[in-house]
Amino acid sequence: MNLFTHSKGHTANKAFLLRLLSGQRLPGALLFCGPEAVGKFTLAKEFGRIINCPEQQGYCGTCEICRLALDTHIIDQGDKIIQIGQIREIQQHVLTGPFTAGFYICIINEAHKMNEEAMNAFLKLLEEPPNHVLIILVTHKPNGLLPTILSRTLRVAFGELSSRDTREVLRNTAGFDQPTAERYLSLCPHSMACLPIFKSKQLSLLYQDGQFPFFQRFWENPRDIPFLTKLMDISQGQSLSPFLRLFLLFFSHRMHQGENSREAALCVQILVDYISVYDTINVNAMVFLQSLLLRLKEVKYANTG
Ligand SMILES: [Zn+2]
């Protein structure tokens, strides 16, 4: 029986969690880690509902606990750094809750975005885990967390989605029509990480008919200064993640096409490094992009001077 009616895939993880629950062996803290945008956070929220709803099998979605998400505290703020004040707020709740018969559930999405102060405060919470509290840390960057935090959580490792599951999420949750869903799958078959590219008009111009026209033009002439301005224009103060991902895909496509593949491979490596930095620390977008473009130009002109 599938008690997780919303989350796609991850069958083994779901079974594991339900075994913990039915055996009353829930630890104080779980770590949901694995690739970006494969449904870790959705699954965490759904698991919270299953734990607290009085419904014996799964959750009803209509009782007060389900509707108001009672005794559930969620931190989910995308790219922003998680501050100590937000952890202190959890500490307050932990002292007073839960108000219902269940658990006080706290889910921190993108947990690696805690700054050092926040992590240290959080560690205190883990060192003296109160009863009836379940913390779920969700991250695709577990190494961005303190080792002392990692050692106090039970790790649940996630894999990618099957393309069938990705298609289902695209059609049913994201509301994509068939042709758009297929176009998406040809770019990113195993996760929802490229969703912002298809949702934003600006970003969607960067990937058309299986081509990357914008990056193509840049790579033909990387010394073209307006590129950076255009790029800042496109990102418009939003997260650079989807953009960097497309840039990476552009070079991986070149690499697989075999044209100048050594050069493309170097660029792929640079992009991978930069994405990993972007994911773990707070950066100034302009400075970050300038530095990235500089590295790419070095590759392009390495032999020609
Ligand atoms: Zn319910």
Mean residue pLDDT across the chain: 89
Q: How does pLDDT run across 275-290, given as a tens digit for each residue? A: 888 876 767 888 898 8
Query: Based on the domain organization, do 23 and 152 belong to the same domain?
Result: yes
60 alpha carbon – ligand 1 mean position (Å):
4
pLDDT exceeds cutoff 90 at 266: yes
What's 153's domain CATH number? 3.40.50.300
Give the pLDDT score at 283: 77
Task: State the residue for tokens 């083994």.
Answer: 12
Residue 51 alpha carbon to ligand 1 centre in Å:
10
CA of 61 to the centre of ligand 1 (A): 5
Number of structural domains found in the chain = 2
If asked whether residues 108 and 16 sit together in one domain, one would say yes
Cβ pair 142, 33 in contact under 8 A: yes
Q: Where does a domain end: 129, 157, 185?
A: 157
Q: For residue 130, count other CB atoms closer than 10 A to its CB.
A: 12
The 10s digit of each residue's pLDDT in 43-65 is 999 999 999 999 888 899 899 88
CA 69 / ligand 1 centre spacing (Å): 9
- Alpha carbon separation from 290 to 192, 218, 222 (Å, rounded): 28, 14, 12
- Residue 49 CA to ligand 1 center (angstroms) comes to 7
- Quote the ligand 1 centre to 19 CA distance (angstroms): 20
Q: Are 249 and 189 in contact (CB under 8 A)?
A: no
Q: Kindly state whether residues 208 and 111 are assigned to the same domain.
A: no
- The Å distance, Cα 55 to ligand 1 centre, comes to 6
Tell me the residue range of the domain where 265 lies: 194-300
> Which pLDDT band holds residue 237 (cuts at 50, 70, 90)?
low
**Greater confidence, 187 or 149?**
149
Residue 186 near residue 166 (C-beta atoms within 8 A): no
Quick one: 211 and 123 in the same domain? Answer: no
Residue 43: the pLDDT is: 97
Determine, yes or no, domain membership for 4.
Answer: no
Q: How confident is the model at residue 1 (pLDDT cuts 50, 70, 90)?
A: low
- Give the pLDDT of residue 240: 83
Residue 228 domain-assigned (yes or no): yes
Determine the pLDDT at residue 18.
Answer: 95
Same domain, 153 and 256: no
State the distance from the centre of ligand 1 to the C-alpha of 4, rounded, in angstroms: 13
Q: Verify that 53 and 115 share a domain, yes or no.
A: yes
Residues 16 and 147 in one domain: yes
**Span 86-109, average pLDDT:** 88
Say if CB 28 and CB 129 are below 8 A apart.
yes
- Burial call 52-65: b when 16+ CB within 10 Å, e when fewer: bbebeebbeeeeeb
pTM of the predicted structure, to 2 decimals: 0.84
Could you tell me the distance, in angstroms and rounded to a whole number, from the CA of residue 59 to the centre of ligand 1? 5
Mark whether 145 and 15 lie in a shared domain: yes
Span from the CA of 54 to the centroid of ligand 1 (angstroms): 6
Q: How confident is the model at residue 121 (pLDDT cuts 50, 70, 90)?
A: very high
> Is 5 domain-assigned?
no
